[in-house]
Amino acid sequence: MKSESALDFFPVATTLNARGKLIDLSRPQVMGILNVTPDSFFDGGKYITESAIIAQAGKILAEGATFIDVGAYSSRPGADDIPEQEEMTRSVAAIRSIHREFPKAIIAVDTFRSKVAEAAVDEGATLINDISAGELDLNMPATVARLMVPYVAMHMRGTPATMKSLVSYDNLIKDIVDYFHRKLFAFHQLGIKDLIIDPGFGFAKTIDQNFQLLQHLDYVRILGKPILAGLSRKSMIWKTLHQQPNESLNGTTSLNTIALMKGASILRVHDVKAAVEAVTLFTAMQHPTTKDLNPPPSS
């Protein structure tokens, strides 16, 4: 008899409309990270020049990612704030170059600032990924609604500079679900149709809380929205394994596989090839062929 889980009770949306491009989320998809920052925790400073940005975007697409997520503001714990214009200049230049070279690519802009988001969409971005779900720029939800693009809303408390001290919860999973219930109601009132939930691994959560969240990620499906899991090379992996971020690919793949089993629809990663392979193997496990299930003939 098949065992039941939260996956059986909480169906989620399986399509995403990225400005006329219909994305099928019935099979999990991969979002490749392209940070055009000098100080991101893993790849800061690698993709500053236009040639490096284009080369990495091409690699992300060639390895099978559905989305390229361009970030021009480091949100690692304790990261320095940068002026809006600096973020906009970095972000717009990168997205313009990627869109020119790969016009069919689905580009996400990773920003909590509405003006940066709007400028990025004008240059070819088709999705907005906001670590604050509109908390750090109150104009963001209305901007998303007006632009009519999909919106990734993440759970976080405070800012990247303060979030490490804001980790007290009455009930972690319930508090996150309640937070999103309120957010989704407000977003729907504005007319935002395509929403993705990011529970915010590593943002205002301790390492133990991150593992608790992963263990119960399937219950976030009660919100009825696709879940984005951003676990790639985060400190919950390399600190637990007593490693450095550049040693944590195997740990990332392990946790990404668990996230898929818990119902994640999108994996946001630095290493696209490994994530695509995890999705392929997970999908094969979910849908084995009848031929493969037949026992071999007796001799």
Active site residue ranges: 234, 268
Residue partners of 261: CB distance under 8 A and separation at least 6: 282
* Assigned token pair, 134: 């509109």
* Assigned token pair, 139: 């104009």
Separation CA 133–CA 10 (nearest Å): 22
DSSP string, 42-102: TTTTSS-SHHHHHHHHHHHHHTT-SEEEEE-S--STTPPP--HHHHHHHHHHHHHHHHHH-
Q: 160: closest CA among 252, 41, 42, 245?
A: 41
Tokens 């729907």 belong to: 188
How would you label 247-270 residue by residue, b for 16+ Cβ within 10 Å and e otherwise?
ebbebbbebbbbbbebbbbbbbbb
**Residues listed for the chain:** 299
Q: 251: closest CA among 267, 238, 268?
A: 238
Separation CA 151–CA 84 (nearest Å): 20
Separation CA 125–CA 31 (nearest Å): 14
Residue partners of 44: CB distance under 8 A and separation at least 6: 35, 37, 38, 74
Separation CA 110–CA 128 (nearest Å): 6
Separation CA 26–CA 124 (nearest Å): 25
